[in-house]
Copies of this chain bind each other. A is one copy, B any other.
């Protein structure tokens, strides 16, 4: 299914519209009557207001409306999920020591780890409010089922995150593709795909049995999305301020491609790759951030020198990965055809998603909302970022 211009136009327009509605809803949630906490609420808006695709709100709203539900029924839950997502990103960025998020410095790089942890916690707390407020719109029963789903989602995400951190901490490499898929299902699919779709269906008044078929569609869509995300991380051109190229390799993330390479590498290559992957990433990673600020004219070169002196990294207490070593890993991945393998597995998951979509299709009303869900099938694999 090639990405036709019309599907792509529909997608962009629909996503933008949903995102605008949800951002408006999030702004409404932020209490205006708390002058003493104004700085907290400003920081809570920092990530949600940065440019983003808004995939989760669109999935939630499109599912609800394709099933005959109203925009009003889905809007507050969509805002809750977007808030939850942004809270998760803030904590995830600290855990992964990321420098940039949506083309700007991460929250903990701007305001320190203590403030960033607390802002994330505040957003998690605030994300419950629209779900409680929605009782008046969709009633008690569906609202409680949504609360149950969101509680489960939060648990699944934390379990997925724990699994990935544990693999990195323990230097675990004896992993099969299904271990990767299980982790992605918990860490990514539950909160980015399964829950938006389930919540949209519940808001539309669907029973539990029906939401399970939709959840399977969402799960396959999410796994395709994540494999493609990992492929792009390894193969994309490094933009001036965008995602760090090969960031996953620096972090030692277990991607399908890395696991494939490790299975096919020679014993010597494998031993060397394991040795490199266990090294921490350099702690002096402030550099690209400073470079980006200077390039954008947000920092003077002399200001950069001053910051470099103040933050002068100590000689590292442990050996760290070098760019040459990360390049070596990337070469191994190319040599063993692991990128092509990843793309192929992604295509298989997309076919499963298409079959699941076909199974749900009878329940959808012919509408732009149904078309959006279908357009996402093509999008998750063919997007370029």
Q: Which A residues are within 8 Å of any B CB, using their own CB?
A: 34, 36-37, 39-40, 88, 91, 94-96, 112-115, 117-122, 124-126, 128-129, 132, 135, 140, 144, 147-148, 151, 154-155, 157-159, 161-163, 165-166, 169, 182, 310-315, 317-318
Contacts and interface: CB of A to CB of B under 8 A. Distances in A.
A115 B159 contact: no
A122 B158 contact: yes
B126 A155 contact: yes
A94 B113 contact: yes
Contact of A132 (B122, B125, B148, B317): B148
A125 B113 contact: no
A5 B67 CA distance: 66
Contact of A34 (B124, B159, B310, B317): B159
A114 B94 contact: yes
Contacts of A91: 117-118, 121
Given A122-B162, A312-B317, 14 more contacts: A37-B162, A91-B118, A94-B113, A94-B117, A95-B114, A96-B114, A121-B154, A121-B157, A121-B158, A122-B155, A125-B158, A126-B155, A128-B151, A140-B144
Contacts of A95: 113-114, 117-118
A159 B122 contact: yes
| Residue of A91, A147, A165 with most partner-chain B CB within 10 A | A165
A112 B148 CA distance: 30
A132 B152 CA distance: 11
Contacts of A318: 310
Nearest to A170: B39
Contacts of A125: 151, 154-155, 157-158
B118 A117 contact: no
A169 B165 CA distance: 30
A129 B151 contact: yes
Contacts of A161: 118, 121
A40 B132 contact: no
A182 B36 CA distance: 10
Contacts of A120: 121
A223 to B, nearest CB: 17
A315 B122 CA distance: 35
B154 A115 contact: no
Nearest to A95: B114
Nearest to A91: B117
